[in-house]
Amino acid sequence: MMHMQRAGHRPIAVLGGGTAMVGDPSGKTEMRQLLAIDQNGVGIRRQLERFLKLGDDQGLLVNNADWH
């Protein structure tokens, strides 16, 4: 994505906030430690900002939870 942005393209990263609300379909009997969805999204954005320029007319970070 970083290379594409440097070449003049607008990267679009999709955050799975809606997907995270579905849960773990793996069938495990032990519960995983739950992460706060919003807190996890902030961390992911911070990581992406290390490599991409996000903002107006630059890279875009969208959350699929906003599509519901």
Average pLDDT over residues 4-10: 95
How many independent structural domains does the chain possess? 1
Question: pLDDT digit string (tens) for 14-43?
Answer: 988 766 666 656 666 566 565 677 788 889
Residue-level pLDDT at 3 = 96
β-partners of residue 61 are: 13
Phi, psi (rounded to 5 degrees) for 23 = 105, -175
Residue-level pLDDT at 59 = 94
Residue-level pLDDT at 12 = 95
DSSP letter for 5, please.
H
Residue 55 lies in a domain: yes
Cβ-based neighbours of 65, under 8 Å, separated by 6 or more: 15, 17, 18, 20, 21, 37
Residue 51 lies in a domain: yes
Residue 23 lies in a domain: no
